[in-house]
Amino acid sequence: MSLWRQIARGWTSLTRPGAADNDVDREIRHYLEEAEVEYRAQGLTPDEARRAARLDMGAPVAVREEVRAQGWESVVRTAAADARFAARQLRRAPGFAVASLTTLALGIGASTAIYSAVKPTLLEPLPYPDAPRIITIWDRLPDGHRLEVTFGTYREVLARCRSCSALAVTRPWQPTLTGADEPQRLIGQLVAADYFRVFGVQPLVGGGFDPADDRPGGRPSVVLGDAVWRRVLNADPRAIGRSLLLDGTNYTVAGVMPPGFSDVLAPDTEIWSLLQYNPALPPNGREWGHHLRMVGRFADQSSFDAVAADLDAIARQPLPSFPRPGWAAVKNGFAVSELQEDVTRSVRPALVAVMIAASILLAIACVNATSLLLARAAQRRGELAVRAALGATRPRLIRQLVTESLLLVVLGGGLALLFVRMGLETLVAIAPPGLPRVDAIAVDAKVFAFTFGVAVVVGLVVGLLPALRASRSALRPGLQAGARQTTGGHRLLRRGLVVAQVALALVLLIGAGLLLRSLNRLFAIPSGFDSAQVLALKVHVSSQRFDAATIHQRFAETLAAVRGVPGVAAAVLTSHLPFGGELDPNRYGIQIESSANDPKARGSDAYRYAVSAGYFRALGIPLRRGRWLDERDAADAPLSVVISESLARRRFPDRDPIGQRIHVGPENRPWYTIVGIVGDVKQASLAVTETDAVYVTTPQWVFADSEVWIVVKMARDTGVSASAIRQAIWSADRNQPIVRTVTLDELVALSAAERRFALVLFQLFGLVALMLAATGAYGVLSEGVTERTREVGLRLALGAPRRAILSMVLREGTWLACTGIALGLVGATVASRALTTLLFDVSRLDAVTYLGVTVLVLGVTFAASAVPAWRAARVDPSTTLRS
Partner 1 sequence: MKEPTTEVIQGTLDMLILKTLSLEPMHGYGIAKRVEQISRGVFKVNPGSLLTALQRLERAGWLDAAWRQTENARRAKFYTLTRTGRKELDAVTADWKRRALAIARLLDAEG
CA 805, CA 430: separation in Å to the nearest integer?
49
Measured from the CB atom, the residue of 2 and 321 that comes closer to partner 1 is 2
- Give dist(CA 689, CA 338) in Å, integer: 27
Q: How are beta strands 661-664 and 672-678 bridged, if at all? A: antiparallel
| Residue nearer to partner 1 on the CB measure, 2 or 301 | 2
CA distance 776 to 339: 46
> What is the crossing angle of helices 445-473 and 394-430, to 10°?
150
Which of 670, 881, 207, 110 is closest to 421 using CA atoms?
Answer: 110
Shortest distance, position 23 Cβ to partner 1, whole Å: 8
Distance of CA 739 to the CA centre of its chain: 26
Task: Identify which of residues 37 and 235 has a Cβ nearer to partner 1 in the complex.
Answer: 37
Q: How far is the CB of 77 from partner 1 (least distance, A)?
A: 15
**Residue 486 and residue 378 in contact, taking contact as beta carbons nearer than 8 Å:** yes
DSSP code string of 549-593: HHHHHHHHHHHHHHHTSTTEEEEEEES--TTSS--GGGEEEEEEG
**Cα(530)–Cα(682) distance, integer angstroms:** 12
Scanning 30-38, 224-232, 246-254, 447-455 for contacts with partner 1 by CB under 8 A, the matching segment is: 30-38
Cβ(311)–Cβ(273) under 8 Å? no
- Per the CB < 8 A criterion, the answer to whether 296 and 242 are in contact is no
CA distance 723 to 734: 14
666-695 binders of partner 1 (CB under 8 A) = none
Instruction: Please identify, using beta-carbon distances, which residue of 25 and 791 lies nearer to partner 1.
Output: 25
Q: Is the CB of 3 or the CB of 830 nearer to partner 1?
A: 3
Name beta bridge partners: 140: 146
- Residues 311, 315, 316, 320, CA torsion sign: positive
Residue type at 136 in one-letter notation:
T
Binding range to partner 1, per CB under 8 A, among 18-26, 118-126, 354-362, 459-467: 18-26
Please name which of 684, 678, 653 lies closest in space to residue 750, comparing C-alpha atoms.
684
What is the CB neighbour count within 10 angstroms for residue 390?
7
Rounded least distance, CB 33 to partner 1, Å = 6
Nearer to partner 1, 4 or 830 (CB): 4
Q: How far is the CB of 46 from partner 1 (least distance, A)?
A: 16
What are the phi and psi torsion angles at 16 (to 5°)?
-125, 70
Task: Please give the C-alpha separations between residue 691 and each of 80, 583, 685, 746, 847, in angstroms, as whole numbers.
Answer: 71, 12, 10, 20, 31
Identify the residue among 11, 15, 17, 37 touching partner 1 (CB under 8 A).
37
CB 222 within 8 A of CB 253: yes
What amino acid occupies position 804? A
Torsion sign over Cα 499, 501, 505, 507: positive
Among 24, 461, 493, 794, binds partner 1 (CB under 8 A): 24
Return the number of the residue (71 or 581) whose C-beta is nearest partner 1.
Answer: 71
Q: Which is nearer to partner 1, 71 or 318 (CB)?
A: 71
Taking CB under 8 A as the binding criterion, the range among 2-10, 177-185, 386-394, 738-746 that sits at the site for partner 1 is 2-10
Query: Rule CB under 8 A: is residue 5 a binding residue for partner 1?
Result: yes
Closest approach, Cβ 19 to partner 1, in A, equals 13
**Pick 24 or 131: Cβ nearer partner 1:** 24
Task: Name the residue nearer to partner 1 (CB basis): 74 or 276.
Answer: 74
| Least distance between partner 1 and beta carbon 21 (Å) | 13
How many residues lie near partner 1 (CB under 8 A)?
A: 26
* Shortest CB 34 distance to partner 1, Å: 4
Smallest separation (angstroms) from partner 1 to the CB of 4: 9
Burial of 219 by CB count in 10 Å (0-12 exposed, 13-18 middle, 19+ buried)? middle
Least separation in angstroms between residue 43's CB and partner 1 is 17
CB nearer to partner 1: pick between 1 and 847: 1
Q: Using the rule CB under 8 A, is 421 a contact of partner 1?
A: no
CB of 12 vs partner 1, minimal distance in Å: 11
Among 11, 17, 26, 162, binds partner 1 (CB under 8 A): 26
Residue 35 Cβ vs partner 1, minimum distance, rounded to whole Å? 6
Site map for partner 1, 528-557, x if CB under 8 A? Answer: ------------------------------
Q: How many residues does the chain have?
A: 883
Q: Which of 11, 19, 22, 27 binds partner 1 (CB under 8 A)?
A: 27
Supply the minimum distance, in Å, between the C-beta of residue 62 and partner 1: 7
Nearest residue (CB) to partner 1, 53 versus 720? 53
DSSP state of 218: P
Query: How many angstroms separate the CA atoms of 763 and 769, rounded?
Result: 10
Under the binding rule (CB under 8 A), the answer on residue 38 touching partner 1 is: yes
Residue 33 in contact with partner 1, rule: CB under 8 A: yes
Smallest distance from partner 1 to CB 883, Å = 47
Angle at 837 between CA 831 and CA 839, to 5 degrees: 80
x/- contact string, 43-82, with partner 1 (CB under 8 A)?
-------------xxx---xx--xx--xx-----------
Buried b (16+ CB within 10 A) or exposed e, 819-832: bbbebbbebbeebb
Shortest separation between residue 109's beta carbon and partner 1, angstroms: 45
Residue nearer to partner 1 on the CB measure, 58 or 414: 58
For partner 1, the closer of residues 60 and 267 by Cβ is 60
For residue 718, give the 3-state DSSP assignment.
coil
Taking CB under 8 A as the binding criterion, the range among 28-36, 90-98, 403-411, 826-834 that sits at the site for partner 1 is: 28-36
Q: Which of 28, 468, 749, 771 binds partner 1 (CB under 8 A)?
A: 28
Segment contacting partner 1 (CB under 8 A): 27-35, 417-425, 483-491, 662-670? 27-35
For CA atoms 182, 188, 194, 197, give the dihedral sign.
negative
What is the binding site for partner 1 (CB under 8 A)? Answer: 1-2, 5-6, 9, 23-24, 26-28, 30-31, 33-35, 37-38, 56-58, 62-63, 66-67, 70-71
